[in-house]
């Protein structure tokens, strides 16, 4: 990150929302279900699957959680009625985990049950370390109730992840493996880029060799993509055992190459009124686009 990028990232809270929104359009489908449906339809036409997320997290009133659950139910119905190749991704804090954990489980269980009726799948996303254990426990509880149409996420930068994977493997889980984006203390998470990459490579092998039902290889890092391709080839893995996953608006060229080479690829499609926080996080992760922020503020974009 160069000096200008660092300055722009530091000043992001002062950047006018219309400027952030203009840049954010590459990362989010829009604010409505119709926007998400249109985005997914386009991705399906390019040979990609999708997973749709209703933006929002850390609700403080359970009424907000119930509203989010209703949005997801409508989304699942639209995916079915529109014939889209897409599943959904949920954040437990958006469904009230920190307000009332038991009621949150009820909302999630109902969503997973409806998804099963619609022959669909629910990915339980991973958030910061304050909810890692609660998230994995909720996933195990669903699996104990024989809900097989759900999966979880493991973050490679967390030091605990190898132990978490080992504990999940008897379930033959569906796991999405990502690097991790939340700022965590060094005693909890690897901070150096090479250490995170080393962890990612080791976890990927642990998942394949331990018998995961399916692994979502979620990364835009070319070195990790090439490593994953080598692992897939070495083990002659069937396409049902894995898919690559990427964020909307990121690494489109690499995405097209993977699809052209015959690999399954799923694009994460976020939408909703809570677009601002998500968009700022994406910009902070990719500070090389700081120049677009400057252009937007100057009316040059």
Non-local (6+) Cβ contacts of 207 within 8 A are 165, 169, 175, 177, 215
Residue 6 designated active-site: no
Catalytic residue among 53, 125, 164, 227: 125
Q: Which residues pair with 209 in a beta bridge?
A: none
Residue 80 designated active-site: no
Count of C-beta atoms within a 10 Å radius of residue 171? 17
Catalytic residue among 123, 176, 197, 255: 176
Residue with tokens 């979880």: 152
What does 27-59 look like in DSSP terms, one character per residue? T---SSHHHHHHHHHHHHHTT-EEEEEE-----
CB 246, CB 224: distance < 8 Å: no
Question: Cα 225–84–147 angle (5° rounding)?
Answer: 75
- What is the C-alpha to C-alpha distance for residues 231 and 183, in angstroms, rounded to an integer? 29
Catalytic sites, residue numbers: 125, 176
């Amino acid at each position: 990150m160069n000096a200008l990028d660092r300055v722009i990232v530091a000043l992001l809270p002062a950047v006018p929302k219309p400027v952030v929104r203009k840049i954010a359009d590459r990362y989010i489908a829009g604010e409505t279900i119709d926007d998400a449906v249109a985005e997914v339809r386009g991705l399906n036409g390019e040979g990609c699957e999708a997973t749709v997320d209703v933006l929002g997290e850390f609700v403080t009133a359970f009424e907000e959680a119930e509203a989010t659950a209703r949005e997801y139910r409508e989304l699942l119905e639209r995916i079915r009625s529109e014939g889209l190749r897409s599943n959904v991704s949920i954040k437990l804090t958006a469904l009230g985990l920190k307000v009332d954990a038991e009621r949150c489980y009820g909302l999630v269980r109902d969503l997973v049950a409806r998804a099963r009726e619609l022959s669909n799948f629910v990915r339980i996303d991973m958030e910061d370390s304050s909810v890692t254990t609660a998230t994995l426990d909720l996933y195990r509880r669903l699996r104990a109730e024989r809900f097989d149409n759900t999966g979880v996420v493991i973050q490679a930068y967390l030091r605990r992840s190898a132990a978490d994977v080992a504990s999940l493997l008897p379930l033959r889980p569906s796991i999405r493996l990502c690097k991790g984006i939340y700022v965590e203390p060094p005693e909890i998470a690897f901070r150096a880029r090479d250490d995170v990459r080393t962890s990612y490579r080791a976890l990927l092998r642990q998942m394949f060799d331990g018998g995961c039902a399916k692994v979502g290889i979620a990364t835009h890092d070319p070195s990790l993509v090439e490593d994953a391709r080598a692992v897939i080839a070495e083990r002659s893995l069937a396409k049902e055992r894995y898919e690559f996953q990427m964020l909307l608006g990121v690494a489109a060229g690499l995405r097209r190459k993977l699809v052209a080479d015959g690999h399954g690829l799923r694009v994460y499609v976020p939408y909703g009124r809570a677009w601002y926080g998500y968009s700022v996080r994406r910009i902070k992760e990719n500070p090389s686009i700081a120049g677009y922020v400057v252009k937007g503020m100057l009316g040059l974009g």
